[in-house]
Amino acid sequence: MFPDNPSLIQTGPSSPSSSLWSKPPTPLVLIHDGGGTIFSYYCLNELDRPLHGISNPHYDSGEPFPGGIPEMASLYIEYIKSVVPRGNLIIGGWSLGGLLSLEVASQLAKEEGDGSRLNLLGIVMIDSVCPLAWRRGGSEGFLKIIRNGAAWGPHTKEETKRKVTRCFSESSRMVGEWELPSWEGRKPPPVILLRAKDKVPVPGEVEGTVSRVDVCREDKHLGWDGYRKGLITKVVDIPGHHFNIFSEMENVDVVTEEIGRACGELEGWHVRRFVSWGEEKR
């Protein structure tokens, strides 16, 4: 699929800032969605920072991850360190990518006492729904929940359809079995959630039927308060529904802008925390 993993999608500014006080922009690593690919992230406009994408390394083989989400995240940490071995870092992803980012963050937090040289500034979730919501059947018990697969383009190869569908199925299994991080007294990093405004159209528009990604669409935090109150630091609404965020140009323009803004805010929050910490030490 992709020769390199992670793939370098954007290199960032071509020339460093002339200011003596400015630091280079923090690298952003976006993790694949349930389909296993990172094609969507290539649709983004320029973010003016290094952008790396992690695709599912088992996309072609279909080999499962016996250890589920935690095993996947552990491998992805090694991928991340291969391109960002030290310093500040922002991670995130669309749908499953946001869930994997949370597990990556938890495992990185456990490494802090072991001399980890990475400093995670935060997570940018792109319409990632808390899995506890659809495990419970959403806040409305009478809802008929359906799964939506990928929307295929007219020229999509049958082989691609087969591999993506297989990845979706395996991802669904892993998320269903995933025990969300407990954090064990540690504090999660800031999380900015970009939430799609619209619901996914369902076949026939049968009353009471929703896509699984919309079981808590009316909830500002997409169900995350049911896992950990206060996990979501900020919510930003973006146009479109879960599956057309990256497929319609006007949506891509907005989501690019909001990803860039979110990264800037995470950098700003980090600087303010660092300054406050320094003042406390005086």
43 versus 152: which is more confidently predicted? 43
The gap from C-alpha 99 to its chain's centroid, in whole angstroms, comes to 6
236 vs 127: CA distance, rounded Å: 10
Q: Which residues contact 175 (CB under 8 A, 6 or more apart)?
A: 69, 96, 99, 131
- Which segment of 28-42, 77-91, 124-138, 212-226 scores lowest on mean pLDDT? 124-138
Q: Which residues contact 67 (CB under 8 A, 6 or more apart)?
A: 74
What per-residue confidence (pLDDT) applies to 136? 65
Cβ(28)–Cβ(90) below 8 Å: yes
Exposed/middle/buried for residue 204 (C-beta within 10 Å: 0-12, 13-18, 19+)? exposed
What per-residue confidence (pLDDT) applies to 156? 83
CATH 3.40.50.1820 fits 7-12+24-130+159-198+218-281, yes or no: yes
Reported as a pLDDT band with limits 50, 70 and 90, residue 48 is: very high
How big, in percent rounded to 5, are the helix, strand and coil portions of the chain? 40, 15, 45
What per-residue confidence (pLDDT) applies to 276? 53
pTM, full prediction = 0.91
Q: Which residues contact 202 (CB under 8 A, 6 or more apart)?
A: 146, 148, 209, 210, 211
pLDDT at 38 over 70: yes
What tens digit of pLDDT does each residue of 85-99 get? 999 999 999 999 999
What tens digit of pLDDT does each residue of 144-168 get? 556 665 667 778 899 988 999 999 9
What tens digit of pLDDT does each residue of 246-277 get? 999 999 999 999 999 999 999 998 877 655 54
What tens digit of pLDDT does each residue of 120-129 get? 999 999 999 9
Dmax over CA atoms of the chain, in Å, equals: 65
Give the mean pLDDT of the chain. 88
4 vs 15: CA distance, rounded Å: 25
| Phi, psi (rounded to 5 degrees) for 120 | -80, 115
